[in-house]
Amino acid sequence: MDGVLLDSIGYRKALQTSVNRIAVGLGAPHTFLSENQIAKFEALHVTNEWDTLAICTALVLVAVWQIDSQIRINSLHPVKTILSTQPDFNYLLDQFTIDNSLPGDKALNIILGMYPELCEDQRNYLTYILSSCRDIYSSPILPIHQEIILGSQVFHDYYNLKPIYNEESFLLKFDRPKLKPKTLSLILNLLKLPINAGCVMTNRPSKTPPGYLSSPEAELGLKCAGIETFPYISSGILRWFSHVILNKPNLSLLKPNPIHALASLRMCLGESVLEAIEKSFLMIQGKSKKADWSRFNQSKIVVFEDSTKGLLSAKAAQELLQAFGITTDLDLVGVSSNPIKTEALGKITSKIIDDINNINWETYHTLP
Protein backbone atom coordinates (compact mmCIF):
# COMPACT_ATOMS: atom_id res chain seq x y z
CA MET A 1 0.00 0.00 0.00
CA ASP A 2 2.42 2.69 1.21
CA GLY A 3 4.87 3.75 -1.45
CA VAL A 4 3.00 1.90 -4.21
CA LEU A 5 -0.71 2.73 -4.01
CA LEU A 6 -0.21 5.68 -1.68
CA ASP A 7 2.30 8.43 -1.32
CA SER A 8 2.33 7.97 2.45
CA ILE A 9 3.33 11.51 3.30
CA GLY A 10 1.21 11.33 6.45
CA TYR A 11 3.28 8.58 8.06
CA ARG A 12 6.57 10.31 7.28
CA LYS A 13 5.36 13.72 8.49
CA ALA A 14 3.85 12.17 11.61
CA LEU A 15 7.08 10.34 12.39
CA GLN A 16 9.18 13.47 11.84
CA THR A 17 6.76 15.54 13.94
CA SER A 18 6.68 12.98 16.75
CA VAL A 19 10.48 12.71 16.87
CA ASN A 20 10.82 16.48 17.00
CA ARG A 21 8.10 17.00 19.63
CA ILE A 22 9.65 14.42 21.92
CA ALA A 23 13.12 15.86 21.33
CA VAL A 24 11.89 19.37 22.18
CA GLY A 25 10.53 17.97 25.45
CA LEU A 26 13.94 16.46 26.15
CA GLY A 27 15.83 19.67 25.45
CA ALA A 28 17.05 18.84 21.93
CA PRO A 29 14.96 21.14 19.70
CA HIS A 30 17.22 20.87 16.65
CA THR A 31 16.47 17.16 16.22
CA PHE A 32 15.10 16.22 12.80
CA LEU A 33 14.67 12.84 11.12
CA SER A 34 15.34 13.20 7.40
CA GLU A 35 13.60 11.49 4.48
CA ASN A 36 16.78 9.56 3.70
CA GLN A 37 17.09 8.37 7.28
CA ILE A 38 13.50 7.11 7.16
CA ALA A 39 14.32 5.32 3.90
CA LYS A 40 17.41 3.81 5.53
CA PHE A 41 15.34 2.51 8.44
CA GLU A 42 12.89 0.94 5.98
CA ALA A 43 15.70 -0.59 3.90
CA LEU A 44 16.92 -2.23 7.13
CA HIS A 45 13.43 -3.75 7.68
CA VAL A 46 12.51 -1.20 10.36
CA THR A 47 9.22 -0.36 8.66
CA ASN A 48 7.08 0.16 11.77
CA GLU A 49 7.19 3.83 12.78
CA TRP A 50 6.61 2.80 16.40
CA ASP A 51 10.03 1.13 16.41
CA THR A 52 11.69 4.01 14.56
CA LEU A 53 10.24 6.55 16.99
CA ALA A 54 11.49 4.62 20.02
CA ILE A 55 14.97 4.18 18.55
CA CYS A 56 15.23 7.89 17.76
CA THR A 57 13.97 8.77 21.25
CA ALA A 58 16.61 6.52 22.80
CA LEU A 59 19.33 8.23 20.76
CA VAL A 60 18.09 11.68 21.81
CA LEU A 61 18.14 10.57 25.44
CA VAL A 62 21.73 9.31 25.37
CA ALA A 63 22.77 12.53 23.62
CA VAL A 64 21.21 14.84 26.22
CA TRP A 65 22.48 12.59 29.04
CA GLN A 66 25.98 13.63 28.11
CA ILE A 67 25.00 17.05 29.50
CA ASP A 68 22.22 16.30 32.02
CA SER A 69 21.98 12.68 33.18
CA GLN A 70 18.65 13.26 34.97
CA ILE A 71 16.54 14.04 31.88
CA ARG A 72 13.49 11.80 31.42
CA ILE A 73 10.27 12.01 29.38
CA ASN A 74 8.02 13.81 31.84
CA SER A 75 5.93 15.95 29.51
CA LEU A 76 5.85 17.33 26.02
CA HIS A 77 6.23 20.88 27.14
CA PRO A 78 9.38 22.49 25.74
CA VAL A 79 12.26 22.63 28.17
CA LYS A 80 15.38 24.72 28.01
CA THR A 81 17.78 23.75 25.27
CA ILE A 82 20.22 21.18 26.58
CA LEU A 83 21.55 19.92 23.26
CA SER A 84 22.12 22.46 20.48
CA THR A 85 23.22 19.89 17.89
CA GLN A 86 21.52 17.07 16.01
CA PRO A 87 21.80 13.59 17.63
CA ASP A 88 23.69 11.17 15.39
CA PHE A 89 21.05 8.82 13.96
CA ASN A 90 23.28 7.78 11.07
CA TYR A 91 25.94 6.14 13.22
CA LEU A 92 23.41 3.72 14.69
CA LEU A 93 21.89 3.01 11.27
CA ASP A 94 25.34 2.06 10.01
CA GLN A 95 25.58 -0.58 12.77
CA PHE A 96 22.26 -2.21 11.92
CA THR A 97 22.08 -5.58 10.19
CA ILE A 98 19.05 -7.38 8.82
CA ASP A 99 18.00 -10.36 10.92
CA ASN A 100 14.92 -11.70 12.68
CA SER A 101 15.36 -9.84 15.97
CA LEU A 102 13.00 -7.04 16.97
CA PRO A 103 14.34 -3.61 15.96
CA GLY A 104 14.03 -2.26 19.50
CA ASP A 105 16.05 -5.14 20.96
CA LYS A 106 18.72 -4.73 18.30
CA ALA A 107 18.92 -0.98 18.81
CA LEU A 108 19.21 -1.42 22.58
CA ASN A 109 22.20 -3.73 22.21
CA ILE A 110 23.89 -1.33 19.80
CA ILE A 111 23.26 1.74 21.97
CA LEU A 112 24.46 0.04 25.16
CA GLY A 113 27.60 -0.96 23.29
CA MET A 114 28.09 2.62 22.07
CA TYR A 115 27.65 4.09 25.56
CA PRO A 116 29.16 1.67 28.11
CA GLU A 117 29.34 4.50 30.65
CA LEU A 118 25.55 4.61 31.13
CA CYS A 119 24.45 3.89 34.68
CA GLU A 120 22.03 1.09 35.57
CA ASP A 121 19.05 3.45 35.85
CA GLN A 122 19.74 4.89 32.40
CA ARG A 123 20.13 1.43 30.89
CA ASN A 124 16.85 0.35 32.45
CA TYR A 125 15.13 3.47 31.16
CA LEU A 126 16.30 2.81 27.60
CA THR A 127 15.09 -0.78 27.93
CA TYR A 128 11.68 0.54 29.01
CA ILE A 129 11.47 2.98 26.07
CA LEU A 130 12.45 0.38 23.48
CA SER A 131 10.54 -2.60 24.89
CA SER A 132 7.24 -0.75 25.43
CA CYS A 133 7.20 1.00 22.05
CA ARG A 134 4.35 -1.11 20.64
CA ASP A 135 2.10 -0.95 23.69
CA ILE A 136 -0.15 2.12 23.59
CA TYR A 137 -0.91 1.87 27.32
CA SER A 138 2.66 1.36 28.54
CA SER A 139 4.78 3.46 26.22
CA PRO A 140 5.33 7.13 27.14
CA ILE A 141 5.83 8.03 23.47
CA LEU A 142 3.48 5.89 21.36
CA PRO A 143 0.30 7.80 22.37
CA ILE A 144 1.95 11.00 21.11
CA HIS A 145 2.45 9.43 17.70
CA GLN A 146 -0.88 7.63 17.41
CA GLU A 147 -2.83 10.79 18.18
CA ILE A 148 -1.06 12.44 15.23
CA ILE A 149 -1.69 9.42 13.00
CA LEU A 150 -5.40 8.97 13.75
CA GLY A 151 -6.40 12.48 14.78
CA SER A 152 -7.33 13.47 18.32
CA GLN A 153 -11.00 12.45 18.19
CA VAL A 154 -10.46 8.98 16.66
CA PHE A 155 -7.51 8.47 19.01
CA HIS A 156 -9.76 9.16 22.01
CA ASP A 157 -12.63 7.05 20.69
CA TYR A 158 -10.44 4.12 19.76
CA TYR A 159 -8.00 3.93 22.66
CA ASN A 160 -10.07 5.69 25.36
CA LEU A 161 -7.07 7.88 26.10
CA LYS A 162 -7.12 11.60 26.68
CA PRO A 163 -5.73 13.54 23.71
CA ILE A 164 -2.89 15.99 24.22
CA TYR A 165 -3.52 18.04 21.09
CA ASN A 166 -6.41 19.05 18.91
CA GLU A 167 -5.01 17.29 15.85
CA GLU A 168 -6.41 16.22 12.50
CA SER A 169 -5.27 12.79 11.29
CA PHE A 170 -1.99 13.16 9.41
CA LEU A 171 -3.03 10.20 7.23
CA LEU A 172 -6.17 11.97 6.06
CA LYS A 173 -4.47 15.33 5.88
CA PHE A 174 -1.30 14.44 3.99
CA ASP A 175 -1.57 11.02 2.30
CA ARG A 176 -2.13 11.13 -1.45
CA PRO A 177 -3.18 8.37 -3.86
CA LYS A 178 -0.41 7.38 -6.23
CA LEU A 179 -2.75 5.74 -8.72
CA LYS A 180 -3.73 8.19 -11.43
CA PRO A 181 -7.38 7.94 -12.51
CA LYS A 182 -6.36 6.31 -15.81
CA THR A 183 -4.20 3.73 -14.00
CA LEU A 184 -6.93 2.94 -11.50
CA SER A 185 -9.44 2.52 -14.32
CA LEU A 186 -7.09 0.15 -16.19
CA ILE A 187 -6.51 -1.95 -13.06
CA LEU A 188 -10.22 -2.17 -12.27
CA ASN A 189 -10.95 -3.21 -15.86
CA LEU A 190 -8.25 -5.88 -15.64
CA LEU A 191 -9.81 -7.26 -12.49
CA LYS A 192 -13.15 -7.64 -14.25
CA LEU A 193 -11.56 -10.35 -16.39
CA PRO A 194 -12.11 -13.82 -14.86
CA ILE A 195 -8.42 -14.74 -15.27
CA ASN A 196 -7.26 -11.86 -13.02
CA ALA A 197 -7.57 -11.07 -9.33
CA GLY A 198 -5.86 -8.71 -6.92
CA CYS A 199 -5.24 -8.16 -3.23
CA VAL A 200 -3.53 -5.47 -1.17
CA MET A 201 -0.78 -6.84 1.11
CA THR A 202 0.23 -4.33 3.76
CA ASN A 203 1.86 -4.15 7.17
CA ARG A 204 -0.46 -1.31 8.18
CA PRO A 205 -2.52 -1.90 11.32
CA SER A 206 -6.19 -2.62 10.67
CA LYS A 207 -9.50 -3.51 12.27
CA THR A 208 -9.61 -6.84 14.12
CA PRO A 209 -12.18 -9.06 15.86
CA PRO A 210 -13.55 -7.66 19.15
CA GLY A 211 -11.22 -7.79 22.12
CA TYR A 212 -7.98 -7.16 20.24
CA LEU A 213 -6.70 -3.63 19.79
CA SER A 214 -5.42 -2.50 16.40
CA SER A 215 -6.03 0.89 14.79
CA PRO A 216 -7.87 1.18 11.41
CA GLU A 217 -4.96 2.58 9.40
CA ALA A 218 -5.22 0.13 6.50
CA GLU A 219 -8.86 1.09 6.03
CA LEU A 220 -7.91 4.79 5.97
CA GLY A 221 -5.31 3.97 3.32
CA LEU A 222 -7.72 2.06 1.11
CA LYS A 223 -10.15 4.95 1.28
CA CYS A 224 -7.45 7.43 0.32
CA ALA A 225 -6.28 5.22 -2.57
CA GLY A 226 -9.82 4.98 -3.93
CA ILE A 227 -10.04 1.19 -3.57
CA GLU A 228 -12.19 0.72 -0.46
CA THR A 229 -13.77 -2.48 -1.83
CA PHE A 230 -10.44 -4.20 -2.58
CA PRO A 231 -9.57 -7.39 -0.70
CA TYR A 232 -6.73 -6.67 1.70
CA ILE A 233 -4.68 -8.38 4.34
CA SER A 234 -2.87 -6.26 6.88
CA SER A 235 -0.97 -6.50 10.11
CA GLY A 236 -3.99 -6.16 12.40
CA ILE A 237 -5.62 -9.45 11.46
CA LEU A 238 -2.29 -11.28 11.18
CA ARG A 239 -1.23 -10.06 14.62
CA TRP A 240 -4.62 -11.09 16.03
CA PHE A 241 -4.39 -14.58 14.50
CA SER A 242 -0.83 -15.07 15.71
CA HIS A 243 -1.50 -13.83 19.25
CA VAL A 244 -5.02 -15.09 19.89
CA ILE A 245 -5.26 -18.27 17.81
CA LEU A 246 -1.66 -19.49 17.76
CA ASN A 247 -0.43 -17.98 21.06
CA LYS A 248 2.71 -16.82 19.25
CA PRO A 249 4.47 -13.43 19.11
CA ASN A 250 2.01 -11.12 17.39
CA LEU A 251 4.40 -10.04 14.61
CA SER A 252 5.47 -13.52 13.56
CA LEU A 253 3.19 -13.87 10.50
CA LEU A 254 3.79 -10.50 8.84
CA LYS A 255 5.88 -10.12 5.71
CA PRO A 256 8.61 -11.27 5.14
CA ASN A 257 6.84 -14.36 6.52
CA PRO A 258 5.40 -16.33 3.56
CA ILE A 259 2.00 -16.56 5.25
CA HIS A 260 1.35 -12.90 4.40
CA ALA A 261 1.82 -13.56 0.68
CA LEU A 262 0.13 -16.98 0.71
CA ALA A 263 -2.95 -15.56 2.40
CA SER A 264 -3.00 -12.70 -0.11
CA LEU A 265 -3.09 -15.26 -2.92
CA ARG A 266 -5.95 -17.12 -1.30
CA MET A 267 -7.93 -13.91 -0.91
CA CYS A 268 -7.56 -13.48 -4.67
CA LEU A 269 -9.76 -16.61 -4.88
CA GLY A 270 -12.50 -14.81 -2.97
CA GLU A 271 -11.86 -16.43 0.40
CA SER A 272 -12.41 -14.58 3.65
CA VAL A 273 -9.33 -13.25 5.37
CA LEU A 274 -9.59 -15.79 8.20
CA GLU A 275 -10.05 -18.73 5.84
CA ALA A 276 -7.08 -17.53 3.79
CA ILE A 277 -4.83 -17.24 6.85
CA GLU A 278 -5.91 -20.61 8.26
CA LYS A 279 -5.20 -22.45 5.00
CA SER A 280 -1.87 -20.66 4.62
CA PHE A 281 -0.86 -21.64 8.15
CA LEU A 282 -1.72 -25.26 7.40
CA MET A 283 0.52 -25.03 4.33
CA ILE A 284 3.42 -23.85 6.51
CA GLN A 285 2.81 -26.77 8.87
CA GLY A 286 2.77 -29.26 6.02
CA LYS A 287 -0.87 -30.15 6.67
CA SER A 288 -2.39 -28.83 3.43
CA LYS A 289 -3.75 -30.92 0.60
CA LYS A 290 -2.32 -30.25 -2.83
CA ALA A 291 -5.86 -29.80 -4.12
CA ASP A 292 -6.22 -26.75 -1.85
CA TRP A 293 -3.51 -24.99 -3.88
CA SER A 294 -3.92 -26.52 -7.33
CA ARG A 295 -5.68 -23.44 -8.73
CA PHE A 296 -2.38 -21.57 -8.48
CA ASN A 297 -0.51 -24.08 -10.64
CA GLN A 298 0.91 -22.40 -13.77
CA SER A 299 -0.36 -19.03 -12.56
CA LYS A 300 1.31 -15.66 -13.08
CA ILE A 301 1.87 -13.73 -9.84
CA VAL A 302 2.93 -10.09 -9.94
CA VAL A 303 3.96 -8.34 -6.73
CA PHE A 304 4.54 -4.57 -6.51
CA GLU A 305 6.47 -3.52 -3.40
CA ASP A 306 8.45 -0.54 -2.17
CA SER A 307 10.25 -2.57 0.51
CA THR A 308 12.11 -5.86 0.47
CA LYS A 309 9.84 -7.48 3.07
CA GLY A 310 6.97 -8.03 0.66
CA LEU A 311 9.25 -9.32 -2.08
CA LEU A 312 10.86 -11.78 0.33
CA SER A 313 7.44 -12.94 1.51
CA ALA A 314 6.39 -13.63 -2.08
CA LYS A 315 9.63 -15.47 -2.88
CA ALA A 316 9.26 -17.66 0.20
CA ALA A 317 5.64 -18.38 -0.75
CA GLN A 318 6.68 -19.42 -4.26
CA GLU A 319 9.31 -21.79 -2.83
CA LEU A 320 6.74 -23.42 -0.56
CA LEU A 321 4.33 -23.85 -3.46
CA GLN A 322 7.11 -25.29 -5.63
CA ALA A 323 7.95 -27.86 -2.94
CA PHE A 324 4.26 -28.77 -2.99
CA GLY A 325 4.37 -29.37 -6.75
CA ILE A 326 2.69 -26.07 -7.63
CA THR A 327 4.58 -24.12 -10.28
CA THR A 328 4.15 -20.34 -10.50
CA ASP A 329 5.65 -17.57 -12.58
CA LEU A 330 6.58 -14.91 -10.03
CA ASP A 331 7.25 -11.37 -11.22
CA LEU A 332 8.71 -9.17 -8.46
CA VAL A 333 8.54 -5.44 -9.16
CA GLY A 334 10.24 -2.97 -6.85
CA VAL A 335 8.62 0.48 -6.76
CA SER A 336 10.65 3.44 -5.51
CA SER A 337 12.60 6.46 -6.67
CA ASN A 338 14.61 6.75 -3.45
CA PRO A 339 18.19 5.58 -4.14
CA ILE A 340 18.54 3.99 -0.69
CA LYS A 341 15.40 1.92 -1.17
CA THR A 342 16.14 1.05 -4.80
CA GLU A 343 19.55 -0.26 -3.77
CA ALA A 344 17.90 -2.56 -1.22
CA LEU A 345 15.20 -3.64 -3.68
CA GLY A 346 17.86 -4.34 -6.30
CA LYS A 347 19.27 -7.10 -4.11
CA ILE A 348 15.97 -8.98 -4.52
CA THR A 349 14.80 -8.09 -8.03
CA SER A 350 16.16 -6.53 -11.20
CA LYS A 351 12.77 -5.03 -12.04
CA ILE A 352 12.53 -1.61 -10.39
CA ILE A 353 10.25 1.24 -11.43
CA ASP A 354 9.87 4.66 -9.87
CA ASP A 355 6.07 4.83 -10.16
CA ILE A 356 3.32 2.25 -10.55
CA ASN A 357 1.66 4.46 -13.16
CA ASN A 358 4.58 3.74 -15.49
CA ILE A 359 3.51 0.12 -16.00
CA ASN A 360 1.93 -0.74 -19.34
CA TRP A 361 -1.15 -2.30 -17.79
CA GLU A 362 -2.56 -3.26 -21.18
CA THR A 363 0.05 -6.05 -21.38
CA TYR A 364 -1.65 -7.88 -18.54
CA HIS A 365 -4.68 -8.51 -20.73
CA THR A 366 -2.59 -11.13 -22.53
CA LEU A 367 -1.64 -13.19 -19.47
CA PRO A 368 -2.46 -16.88 -19.88
- Is residue 249 pLDDT above 90, yes or no? no
Q: Residue 215: helix, strand or coil by DSSP?
A: coil
Band of pLDDT at residue 8, cut at 50, 70 and 90: confident
pLDDT bin (cut points 50, 70, 90) of residue 251 is low
* Residue 305 bridge partners (DSSP): 334
Q: What confidence category does residue 252 fall into, taking pLDDT thresholds of 50, 70 and 90?
A: confident
Q: What is the rounded average pLDDT of the residues 17-24?
A: 95
Structural domain boundaries in the chain: 6-170, 178-366
Assess whether pLDDT exceeds 50 at residue 27: yes
Q: Please check the confidence at residue 302 and state whether its pLDDT lies above 70.
A: yes
| Mean of all residue pLDDT scores within the chain | 91
